[in-house]
Amino acid sequence: MSQLHLDTLGVHAGYQPDATGAVMPPIYTSSTYAQDAPGQHRGYEYARSGNPTRAAFEKALAELEGGVAGFAFASGLAAMSTVLELLDAGSEIVALDDLYGGAWRLFEKVRNRSAGLKTRYVAPDDIAALRAAITPATQLVWLEIPTNPLLKVADLAAVVEAAHAVGALVVVDATFSTPYLLRPLDYGADIVIHSVTKFLNGHSDVIGGAAIVRTPELAERLGYLQNAVGGVLDPFSSFLALRGLRTLALRMQRHSSNALGIAQWLEGQAAVEKVAYPLLPSHPQYALAQRQFKRGVGGVVSVWLKADEAGVRRFIAALQLFTLAESLGGVESLLNLPWAMTHASIPEADRLRRGVSPNLLRLSVGVEHIDDLIADLQAGFAAI
């Protein structure tokens, strides 16, 4: 199916009607499978090792990303944790310094202690510093595209070139962009990670993660680790996530157009200090974003208000359509205050240095009518 357009592939990837004619895969809840003889099974033996519903979702992920295999996990952090198991104790990682707070917590508060992993952080928009940070000791380069929550864009081809020159793996968290907007494996990245919870599922009713790999060697290694570590996605969530993939193209088109329109509108508001959205001409990496993103850049907009803490809270309280909540990527619009929510685990000095300040809001722009969303934001500004 690889020759199909992504719009079509999203609808058909991963599954063809079975012997019953079922258009969608059944939810196989069995934890174990009958064997014809000891060690002789029909493709499935134990549900942690493999499940037909999960396999359909994993196959769809691989097809959409252009990878050789996909692996579904119980959460985005479960996917990240299992990918890190590819590294030996004491390995060196180079990571972008604007990244999801849970990833920072995993690197610094868990794997540094338990496995001696050493992580050095580099600004996403400083490719010279990134090249300098990558040494022969570097085993893995970790990036998000766009970054969370500042929406910076790394030069993917340049990162891959620098990392592969020393034999390091490149892992890209592409949760914000999805394969509809960007396929990092096409640039030579080794592994793509997603929080399935977000745009891939798209309906705020699943917790899940995924990793898709570029080579058979990585597929063998990560498949072994998925089974050995065991943080797999359950059958019902796999079914829901595959259902979400079927409308990915339609949703990402609307997310992206709404987000761009709202970002443009926000730039004209007197109470706004700054807006971050890669397809705004004011974004420092606008030209790079245009080259790397051909269909839009997704549904997340970050905005800094000209307001103190009390003003920010009044703005939030006045909103009706933008719900204050963790997460993003659902059909409904959400609002997050990274300072106190998703990035609160990062030390205060680091947050401030990176631009994650108390007046920064991250908008997950949904698929509602843009005029209604703008009216909602107008009510927020009136409350400041």
Instruction: Verify cis geometry, omega within 30 degrees of 0, for the bond prior to 146.
Output: yes
48 in catalytic set: yes
* Residue 32 DSSP code: B
Q: Which of 152, 198, 351, 354 is catalytic?
A: 198
198 in catalytic set: yes
User: 43 exposed, middle or buried (CB, 10 Å; 0-12, 13-18, 19+)?
Assistant: exposed
For residues 209 and 72, give the distance between their C-alpha atoms in angstroms, rounded to a whole number: 6
For residues 185 and 372, give the distance between their C-alpha atoms in angstroms, rounded to a whole number: 37
Strand partners, 324: 335
Judging by DSSP bridges, how do beta strands 191-195 and 209-213 pair with one another? antiparallel
Taking a C-beta distance cutoff of 8 angstroms, is the pair 365, 258 a contact?
A: yes
**Gyration radius from the chain CA atoms:** 21
Sign of the four-CA dihedral 207, 339, 371, 181: negative
Judging by DSSP bridges, how do beta strands 300-305 and 272-276 pair with one another? antiparallel
For residues 4 and 11, give the distance between their C-alpha atoms in angstroms, rounded to a whole number: 11
Strand partners, 262: none
For residues 27 and 317, give the distance between their C-alpha atoms in angstroms, rounded to a whole number: 41
376 in catalytic set: no
Residue appearing with tokens 């396999």: 55
Beta strands in the chain (DSSP E): 69-73, 92-96, 118-122, 138-144, 169-173, 191-195, 209-213, 272-276, 300-305, 323-324, 334-336, 360-364
Q: Which of 100, 180, 187, 277 is catalytic?
A: 100
User: 131 exposed, middle or buried (CB, 10 Å; 0-12, 13-18, 19+)?
Assistant: middle
Contact partners, residue 45, CB within 8 Å, separation at least 6:
32, 33, 35
120 in catalytic set: no
Helix 370-383 and helix 309-318, axial crossing angle in degrees, nearest 10: 140
Q: Which of 7, 33, 44, 48 is catalytic?
A: 48
How long, in residues, is the chain?
384
The catalytic site residues sit at 48, 100, 173, 198
